Structure 1
Amino acid sequence: MQVQSAIETKLANAFEVKHLAVENESHMHSVPPNSETHFKVTLVSDGFDGVMKVKRHQMIYKVLAEELAGPVHALALHLYTPEEWAKTGQAAPDSPNCMGGSKGDAAMAAKLKQGVNS
């Protein structure tokens, strides 16, 4: 949990946090057990007020530049003002199932096999 802790600490220090959830979603992907490569971040801050979504993402990328240059392969960002967060019912969207890497290869192989045997 080293990478996850670093992400949580850096974001908490960089933003006036109303809500922060950092979820390690690596287990949902084709990576070795106990990996810390895929994360979902939900962050609510007054600092996003009046800031376009792309700029919000850029703010996060700047804070987490070291992690994104190294161990973090994917980062799903759900960034809200407190008012936007209230409108969501205080829930970030679920992440989609992974179809990349060997999972995607296996699914494609199964489809191809069905096509050959049809």
Structure 2
Amino acid sequence: MSLRQSIEAKLTAAFEPDRLFVIDESHLHAGHQPDMTGTGETHMRIRIVSAHFSGMGRLARHRAINTLLQPELDAGLHALALEPAAPGEAVRW
């Protein structure tokens, strides 16, 4: 199972999203640091709509996702771009 698939599974189990997109953007970051070649799964964008985020502020949403994915971050995932929303909220995607 790829890292992207593992992240999707964890987010689905934890937040039961209405919509979920986990996008591997690693190739966009090639050369940003000497060891960033653009290969592998180092940079992920998460777009998620879930009722679990209703009534939560932006920081609380980000903390909830980061806490869930802390093992992946500790294992080498370099960056997460998070776009969480509750149902009915406007999204840019």
TM-score range, shorter chain: 0.7 to 0.9
Counting aligned pairs with the same residue, the percent is 39
1:10 aligns with 2:10: yes
Equivalent residue in structure 1 for 2:63, among 58, 64, 78: 58
Residue 33 of structure 1: CA displacement? 4.5
Residue 88 of structure 1: CA displacement? 2.9
1:37 aligns with 2:42: yes
Residue 62 of structure 1: CA displacement? 1.3
Structure 1 segments of 4 or more deviating over 4 A?
A: none
Alignment-derived partner of residue 80 in structure 2: 75
| Partner deviation per Cα, 1:85-108 (whole Å, 9 max, x = no partner) | xx336x1xxxxxxxxxxxxxxxxx
Residue 27 of structure 1: CA displacement? 0.3
Residue-pair matches, total: 88
- TM-score scaled by structure 1? 0.70
Distance in 1 between the 2:73 and 2:79 partners? 8
Residue 34 of structure 1: CA displacement? 3.0
SS at match of 1:77: strand
Alignment-derived partner of residue 88 in structure 1: 91
Alignment-derived partner of residue 115 in structure 1: none
Distance in 2 between the 1:32 and 1:9 partners? 26
8 Å Cα contact 2:53-2:85 kept in structure 1: yes
> Unmatched 5+ residue regions in structure 2?
31-35
